[in-house]
A and B are shown apart, each in its own frame.
Chain A
């Protein structure tokens, strides 16, 4: 390998990865689908933004990898990677014009090719494409070389424009529901995407705010730490009160659709907190967790729905039965799996979840459980005439449920029981040798988690007014498991953050429904590779992880967090 080639190595490598990414994105139709929407009306569509962001990002990575070899080679590498990415698209278009790719790849249409060349005819388009790639690389390289503060301000303000563009369908109706603000939103957004002037203003405003924040940040921080401890406490308390206040008025501000999303996130928080006890605290990998959700929902349905006609309790009368039956089933399903460990436990519980779903779905139990048609006409919950019917109202029911469950989780966390669970998670044998009764402790974990889940199920049933077996498949269990791990195992705020990230965000991006799970999957993988401790790990662990990282700063691999034998 010549000097020159080895110099370009990183650029070529990252460029190649980027090339595979963009070609894949083009072929699966993401670029085309995203081009329906403009981020800035008439200037740039989401599809093009996606390609540009990837090109710049990969260029940035290439620059970062060659940071040690001087400005010149950094720039060369990032430009090379940009050119390679653009080149791959040129190749794709060339190939597409020779062979009919469309007989296999359904998205490889002429429309895609004209999109990729920004609508310019191919003869001139390909040079333009290559130039654009090179330009992206150059921008990335320069960005890398610029001052960190400037870089951060620029990246944040640009990404907030992109976010505003992506979330336009959410933001516009929400903002315009508010008299005075609607003027701003009308000016900010055009019918498709941000208006050009709006985008520039938004970008500038964010940049200025950030600039001031970076200037004043340290001053504020020192001022806070100089306060007497009682003052700090009052400030913190005020913060909490503010937070509670925000949670209370949230649905009124956000409108119907976003409140609906909030209720879904809330239900997942409830479920996640329950599984967090089973998996996060006690380390019992339960993949059949949805079974208890189903039990809670079905018990509520059977006890309240006039459709079956067995009982006609109110929601509040049925709720204790739902939770208690959930707890009991947690114990009953827990007993057979007591002696199983790790993956055997996972598959056995997964089996339980499926058995329950299949039984509910079957014609055999139809007279009692409604079969595939489910059970309908479940009454809404109400307190003294106030009915929890609309998403905005149900939100408060779920908020109360979350508060209750968070309170219990917090109490348990640093108690004798919480420690016993954590000890069991770390080393079952030694935990037993320290006087922990494994049977009781495990069953208690299963029961507590199941109880939370059943509570969530009961609220779910009353929210939908009906239950169907299809709502309780194994994907729910898997989703919940993912959210607690993405949030940070064993961490209560982590569950909330995880639910927002894995349930809330995809709900918001419903219009890209086709690609929701694709992005979800890719994000899970990326998350586990880059930040395995979760978005909001337990505070202690975060500190320890950072310690470990700084002590092994020279080694490339991140500190193995709790690698066990």
Chain B
């Protein structure tokens, strides 16, 4: 038995377990120290969690686009962060117009819906054009080629939008209705965070049921399982790939509008960081796996918001919030060490190998 165990375990396994183990010990120790020291009240933790959920839903929505595109094309759509940026940046002008005309005061719900629609529409159009112009001719190219194309498209889009709208930050107008907070069963929750969480949850549910239940959704899943077989079954593969980009773009546009509501400003470079985070979330959940992307997004949002205070404060680390991204990426590496295909696993792992 012992001999068998020795055969099975290689030195690299031991190193990996050591890395993972020491990180886990640090996390547990840090959390225990923080909690025992009582640095934060339950109210604080609750605020962290709610903020994490709001942030996480934005990540989850963006991650949907990454994961769906990965499913059908097996490529990292690096330019998805610009798809995310394009919507809310364009919608800003709509919002500003509403604000100037006073409509935003008198009909806030209608205006918000319109802003949303514009954001989603622009993002999905950009995604559609992106696929058609930049990716479609490269269907059969080696994997790195579309990746570089995507990086190029990402730069291009960033600077086109910078050229069109300018390089400064644009402040989203404040919606009075979303200021302040509501109280549910004794829990105070900032209004805009509540709206973002609820709306994002609804959208995610809608998207998921669209993919699971409708004919188009089924066709998209068929394409991501096996393009050739799907084609032979009479599915228009090109059209389904376009549809995938449009849906992913809509999700990203919605996420962008939420982002605008939460952080109240837009910028041509705003897509970069959320884009990388969302991609991390998609991988975390198991890329190509739609529920995985949602889960990964929420998980990442929570870790980023709760993690620094929980894990690091107790260890006496200065300014732990600076390290939130490091925590997020450490979590990613940790998950990948123990589950190389993500939390929920890649649906198509077998096929790829």
Contact = CB atoms under 8 A, between A and B. Distances in A.
Touch test A–B (CB under 8 Å): yes
Given A518-B155, A529-B134, A354 B145 contact: no
A344 to B, nearest CB: 6
A548 to B, nearest CB: 13
A482 interface: yes
Interface in A437-486: 439, 474, 478, 481-482, 485-486
Nearest to A339: B340
Contacts of B147: 285
Contacts of A340: 336, 340
A251 B342 CA distance: 51
Nearest to A560: B140
Interface in A19-35: 24, 27-30
Contact of B93 (A104, A338, A474, A481): A104
A351 B335 CA distance: 12
Contacts of B152: 482, 520-525, 527-528
B144 to A, nearest CB: 6
B326 A354 contact: yes
Contacts of B142: 532, 561-564
Interface in B152-185: 152-160, 162-166
A72 to B, nearest CB: 31
B135 to A, nearest CB: 10
Interface string B310-339: 000000011110110110011011001100
A302 B15 CA distance: 28
Nearest to A33: B163
Interface stretch (B117-125, B201-209, B248-256, B275-283): B275-283
Q: How large is the interface on B (under 10, 10 to 19, 20 to 34, 35 or more residues)?
A: 35 or more
Nearest to B325: A358
Chain A contact residues, majority secondary structure? helix
B333 A481 contact: no
A366 B317 CA distance: 11
Interface in B39-98: 70, 76, 93
Given A340-B340, A482-B148, A524-B152, A347 B141 contact: no
A351 B144 contact: no
A560 B340 contact: no
A364 B323 contact: yes
Contacts of B333: 336, 348, 351-352, 355
Given A27-B164, A359-B323, A485 B144 contact: yes
Interface of A: 24, 27-30, 103-107, 279, 285, 335-344, 346-348, 350-352, 354-355, 358-359, 361-364, 366, 429, 439, 474, 478, 481-482, 485-486, 489, 514-515, 517-518, 520-525, 527-529, 532, 557, 560-564
29 contacts: A28-B159, A28-B160, A28-B163, A103-B93, A105-B164, A106-B165, A335-B12, A335-B16, A336-B336, A337-B336, A344-B341, A344-B342, A347-B279, A347-B283, A350-B276, A355-B329, A359-B326, A485-B148, A514-B162, A517-B159, A521-B151, A524-B152, A528-B149, A528-B152, A529-B134, A532-B138, A557-B140, A562-B142, A564-B142
Interface of B: 10, 12, 15-16, 19, 70, 76, 93, 134, 137-138, 140-149, 151-160, 162-166, 276, 279-280, 283, 287, 317-320, 322-323, 325-326, 329-330, 332-333, 336-337, 340-342, 352-353
